Amino acid sequence: MTDIDVVIVNYRSAPHTVNCVRTAHQIARHDGIKVKVIVVNNGDEDKAFEQTILEAGDVTFVDNAANSGFGAASNQGAALGAADVILFLNPDATLAPGVLKTCHKVFTDPATADIGIVGPTIIDGDGKVVRSCSRTPTLTDLLLRSVGAHTVFKGTGYPFLSLADHAESRDVGQVMGAALFIRRSLFTALDGFDERFFLYYEDVDLCTRAQSLASRCYYLKIAQVMHIGRASSSQDTGLALALHIRSRLIYTGIHFGRGAQILLAATTVLLELPTRLAQAVIGRGAVGLRGVCKAYRILLTNSFPEAISRLASRTSHKGIV
C-alpha cells in the first residue's frame, strides 16, 4: 500500500521535474516510504519530456493539452492516487533525506491526529532557511501588502513569519505550497484546491479553509526541502504580477466578502499602481516598469486567457505553472 502520493505539476520546467521525480524515488527508498509519483504536464510541448520523465522513475503521467492552472492540475493529480497522505511538490523542489518519513509519522501518530497540513523547512540552494510559513492574513494585512507596507513593517507575521519563528516546529496559519503535505481525508473534505486560483494564494486558501474544519496547519522544523523558487514564474514577470494581484482579490472576496474585495480593488488601482510605478522608475521595484504596465493592462482588461495563451506559444522551457 502506498504511504504518500507525490503530485508534481510541470509547466515548462522539464529539467527540474525530471530531477524532482528522480530525487523523490531516491528519498522514498532511503526513508522506507512507499510513494506513488504523479506528474501532471500542464501543456508543456517538449516532445521528449514524457519519455525522459518515465526514465527517471515509476511515474503516473498525465499530459494536458493546455495549462489549466496549478490548483486544477494538482486536483487532477491527487485524484489519481489513493494514499492517506498527499504531498504537493513544486518541480524545482528537492527532498532531503528523512523528510518523507518524518512528515508521514505526523499523520500516523494518534497524538497529532488533529494536524491536517504539514509544511517542512524550506532551504535555498545555499542551505539557508527560507521564510515559508505565515499567520492567516487579515483584511488589513492584504490592504497593507497591496501598497508594499509589509516590506517596511517586517516581523508582523504576514506574509511570512520571522526567521526566529522558523527556529522550531509550531502551529502556523499557512505553509508554502512548494512542499505541502496534507491528509487525503482533509483534502477530500475541502474539495481540493479552489480552481478559481490559477496561480498564487491557492495554498493560503487551502490552509485557511482547513482551519475552519478545526484542522491544524503545522510547520515541521526537522524536515527539509530545498527549493530554488520562481523557476516557473520568472519567464513573464508582468503576467506573474497580474496573476498574484488577481488571486489576492479572489481570496479577499471569498473570505472577507464583496465589500472588502471592492475596497482592495480600489486600493490596488489607486495606491498600489502608482507606488509600483514609482518604485520601477527609480529601480527599487521587484518588477520593472514594463512588467508593471503589462500587469495592470491584463488586470484592467481581464485578458488573462490571451496572456497565458501567448506565453504558452513561446519556445522557452520556463513559464507560469
Cβ partners under 8 Å of residue 266, min gap 6: none
For residue 218, which phi and psi values (nearest 5 degrees)? -130, 135
Q: Which three cell numbers stand for residue 187?
A: 483534502
Position 55, amino acid: E
pLDDT computed for residue 311 by the predictor: 63
DSSP states of 214-242: T-EEEEEEEEEEEE--STTTSS-HHHHHH
pLDDT computed for residue 307 by the predictor: 79
pTM of model > 0.85: yes
> Between the CA of residue 185 and those of 71, 142, 171, 254, 297, what are the distances in Å?
18, 30, 20, 23, 41
Q: How far apart are CA 124 and CA 111, in angstroms?
A: 31
CB 176 within 8 A of CB 229: no
Q: Which three cell numbers stand for residue 129?
A: 532557511
In a 13 Å sphere around the CA of 84, the CA atoms on its Cβ side amount to: 12
Helix (H) or strand (E) run with residue 6 in it: strand 4-10
Strand, coil or helix: what is 138?
coil
* Per-residue tens of pLDDT for the chain, all 321 residues: 999 999 999 988 889 999 999 999 999 999 999 999 999 999 777 778 888 998 999 999 999 988 899 999 999 999 999 999 999 999 999 999 999 999 999 999 999 999 999 999 999 999 999 999 999 999 999 999 898 887 766 667 788 999 999 999 999 999 999 999 999 999 999 999 999 999 999 999 999 999 999 999 999 999 999 998 755 545 689 999 999 999 999 999 999 999 999 999 999 999 999 999 999 999 888 899 999 999 999 999 988 887 777 665 553 333 333
pLDDT computed for residue 174 by the predictor: 97
CB 144 within 8 A of CB 154: no
Helix (H) or strand (E) run with residue 183 in it: strand 179-183
